[in-house]
């Protein structure tokens, strides 16, 4: 169970959306638990991992797409906006939803760790709690620093966490449970380990 400390919001969600609309090309902004978060724009290896996973998802589940661009409204028990590295949804799911879409219908969110000082707090602590609170069935964390892939499943929104975790090291096979239902051979990820 993840316990988040109480604090006041830095700004309203509406003010954040105005601010994020003019964000830099070198960072991506998020608004999680009432706080602005800054993610560096991904490096080449980060992008290659997302493209690899996108291909795996399309090959295994042709009716689904891993969207690396869509921001999500993560508001259950918090006022927030998150930009996952990928959101697995049925093709056309985000049509007409704008820059910040409702998380209903998202089957899986994906994060690939960045090499920055905030990656632990953001990708390993805050994001799983936020995605579980939103009821997203699966959260996949590709951790380049640790050389692992962790699938978080069975969200418990009341606890703000996922009840099932399964971790493998790069090179092992990983089954992502339903509603995703994909098996990954993570051997390719060894090329992107530190």
Q: Is the pLDDT of residue 179 over 90?
A: yes
Indicate if the pLDDT at residue 165 is higher than 90: yes
12 band by pLDDT with thresholds 50, 70 and 90: confident
The residue-averaged pLDDT of 29-41 equals: 60
Give the tens place of pLDDT for each residue, 79-93. 588 889 999 999 999
For tokens 């921001």, what's the residue?
A: 71
pTM strictly above 0.85: no
Residue 118 confidence class, pLDDT cut points 50, 70, 90: low
pLDDT at residue 66 greater than cutoff 80: yes
Say which CATH superfamily domain 13-192 falls into.
tt1808, chain A (3.90.1570.10)
Give SS3 for 88: strand
Residue 24 has pLDDT above 60, yes or no: no
Residue 126: phi and psi, rounded to 5, are -70, -45
Q: DSSP E strands: which ranges in the chain?
A: 27-32, 35-40, 64-67, 71-73, 81-82, 86-90, 100-101, 108-112, 138-143, 148-156, 161-169, 173-176, 182-185
Delimit the domains of the chain by residue range. 13-192
Give pairs for 100-103: CB < 8 Å, separation 24+.
100/17, 100/71, 100/72, 100/73, 101/70, 101/71, 101/72, 101/73, 102/72, 102/73, 103/72, 103/73, 103/74, 103/131, 103/134, 103/135, 103/136
pLDDT at 22 (0 to 100): 47
For range 11-23, the mean pLDDT = 59
């Amino acid at each position: 169970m993840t316990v988040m400390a109480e604090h006041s919001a830095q700004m309203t969600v509406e003010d954040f959306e105005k601010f994020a609309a003019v964000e830099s090309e070198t960072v991506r902004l998020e608004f999680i638990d009432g706080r602005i978060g800054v993610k560096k724009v991904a490096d080449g290896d980060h992008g290659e991992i997302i493209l690899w996973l996108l291909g795996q998802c399309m090959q295994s589940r042709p009716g689904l797409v891993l969207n690396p661009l869509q921001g999500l409204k993560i508001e259950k028990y918090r006022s927030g906006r998150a930009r996952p590295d990928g959101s697995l949804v049925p093709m056309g799911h985000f049509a007409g939803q704008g820059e910040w879409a409702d998380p209903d219908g998202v089957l899986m969110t994906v994060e690939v760790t960045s090499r920055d000082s905030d990656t632990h707090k953001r990708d390993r602590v805050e994001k799983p709690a936020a995605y579980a609170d939103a009821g997203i069935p699966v959260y996949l964390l590709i951790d380049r620093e640790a050389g692992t892939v962790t699938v978080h499943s069975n969200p418990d929104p009341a606890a703000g966490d996922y009840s099932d975790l399964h971790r493998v090291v790069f090179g092992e096979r990983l089954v992502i449970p339903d509603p995703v239902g994909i098996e990954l051979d993570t051997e390719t990820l060894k090329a992107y380990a530190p």
